[in-house]
C-alpha cells in the first residue's frame, strides 16, 4: 500500500471512530427529546475553505485532502466534531465575515469559528476554546518592487487590502491609517483582495502566518508571498465563540466535549501541520 493510500486510510478510520462516538453519545444524551441543532458560521476564506461545487456545503466529516470535499475548514470542522460529540446536530454555513459576526451576535445556538479574541469583542460572545495561536503581517507578492517599509508612516503610502470588520483592519486604523488610495481598502472577502493584489490594484493584504502557506497549496501564484511589514503587536489566540443567548447547558456540554477532543488526539489530527497549532 502506498504512503498516500495509507494516509487516506488512516484519515478515514479516524473519521469513522469520531462518527461512531457521536452515534453512541447522541441517544444517551438526548433520549426522548429533540436534538438541538447548532450552526457553525465561518468566513468565506480561501485560506481555509475549499468548495468543489458552488453552493455545496458539507454537513458530515470528510477526510482531509479529499478532492470531493465540498468544504474543508479545520477550524469549523473541529467545532462540528465537538458539537456532535456533545450530542447535538451540527452544520456549517459559509458566509462573508461581517454577516457571520452579525449572526453570531443575534441568534441562539450559533457558534462562530474561527474568531480572534480581542478586547473590543470580549463582551459580545461566550468564548469557547483556543484553536490556534497566530501572528500577523501585511503580505504582498514578489516582483511588485515596493520600497522598504519600516515605519507606520511608510505604511501610509501603501494601498492595503483588509477584511471589513476584521480586527487587523481595526488595528491599522488605531495606528492612524484610514480609507483611501493610498490607504486602507476594505473588502468583504479574501478572494476579492487576492484578485486586487494580483491585478496590482493594492500593494498588500493583512493575513496571518498560516494563511500564506495554505494559499500556496491552493494557488501556485501565492507561493510568491513576501511579508511587507510585520504586525508585531498582534499575536492572536483564535477561538470559537457562542452567541450569548445560547443555553448555558448546551455551552457546558460542548465545552466538556472540547476537553475530550483536545485530549484524545482528535484536535491534533485535524490541525496537523498548521502553524500556530496549540499543544494541548
Question: How far is it, in rounded angstroms, from Cα 173 to Cα 189?
Answer: 19
pTM as predicted: 0.66
Write down all domains in the chain, each with its CATH number in brackets. Answer: 3-132+237-270 (3.40.190.10), 135-235 (3.40.190.10)
Q: What is the DSSP string of 16-50?
A: HHHHHHHHHHHHHHHTTSPPPEEEEEEE--TTT--
**pLDDT tens, the chain, 280 aa long:** 443 334 444 444 454 444 444 444 444 444 446 788 999 999 865 545 443 333 333 333 333 333 323 345 788 999 999 999 999 999 999 988 889 999 999 999 999 999 989 888 999 999 999 998 888 999 998 888 888 899 999 999 999 999 998 889 999 999 999 999 999 999 988 888 988 998 999 999 998 877 776 676 666 777 778 889 999 888 889 999 999 999 999 999 999 999 999 999 999 988 877 777 887 7
Q: Are 185 and 168 in contact (CB under 8 A)?
A: no
Instruction: Compute φ and ψ for 20, nearest 5 degrees.
Output: -60, -45
Residues 6+ apart with CB under 8 A from 90: 37, 38, 39, 40, 59, 79, 80, 83, 84
CA distances in angstroms from 225 to 46, 67, 84, 148, 221, listed in the order given:
15, 25, 37, 15, 8
Which of helix, strand or coil describes residue 222?
helix
Amino acid at each position: 500500500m502506498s504512503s498516500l493510500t495509507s494516509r487516506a486510510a488512516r484519515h478515514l478510520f479516524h473519521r469513522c471512530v469520531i462518527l461512531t462516538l457521536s452515534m453512541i453519545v447522541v441517544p444517551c444524551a438526548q433520549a426522548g427529546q429533540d436534538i438541538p441543532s447548532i450552526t457553525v458560521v465561518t468566513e468565506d476564506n480561501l485560506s481555509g475553505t475549499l468548495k468543489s461545487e458552488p453552493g455545496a456545503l458539507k454537513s458530515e466529516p470528510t477526510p482531509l485532502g479529499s478532492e470531493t470535499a465540498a468544504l474543508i475548514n479545520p477550524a469549523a470542522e473541529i467545532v462540528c466534531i465537538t458539537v456532535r460529540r456533545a450530542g447535538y446536530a451540527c452544520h456549517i454555513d459559509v458566509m462573508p465575515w461581517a454577516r457571520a459576526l452579525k449572526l453570531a451576535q443575534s441568534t441562539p445556538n450559533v457558534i462562530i469559528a474561527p474568531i480572534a479574541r480581542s478586547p473590543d469583542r470580549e463582551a459580545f460572545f461566550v468564548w469557547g476554546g483556543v484553536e490556534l495561536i497566530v501572528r500577523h503581517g501585511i503580505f504582498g507578492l514578489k516582483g511588485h518592487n515596493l520600497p522598504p517599509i519600516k515605519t507606520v508612516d511608510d505604511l501610509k503610502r501603501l494601498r492595503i487590502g483588509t477584511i471589513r470588520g476584521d480586527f487587523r483592519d481595526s488595528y491599522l486604523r488605531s495606528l492612524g491609517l484610514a480609507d483611501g488610495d493610498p490607504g486602507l481598502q476594505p473588502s468583504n472577502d479574501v478572494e476579492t483582495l487576492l484578485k486586487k493584489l494580483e491585478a496590482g490594484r493594492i500593494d498588500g493584504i493583512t493575513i496571518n502566518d498560516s494563511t500564506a502557506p495554505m494559499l500556496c497549496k491552493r494557488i501556485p501564484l501565492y507561493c510568491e508571498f513576501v511579508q511587507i511589514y510585520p504586525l508585531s503587536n498582534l499575536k492572536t489566540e483564535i477561538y470559537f465563540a457562542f452567541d450569548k443567548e445560547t443555553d448555558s447547558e448546551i455551552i457546558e456540554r460542548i465545552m466538556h466535549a472540547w476537553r475530550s477532543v483536545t485530549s484524545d488526539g482528535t484536535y491534533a489530527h485535524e490541525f496537523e501541520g498548521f502553524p500556530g497549532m496549540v499543544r494541548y
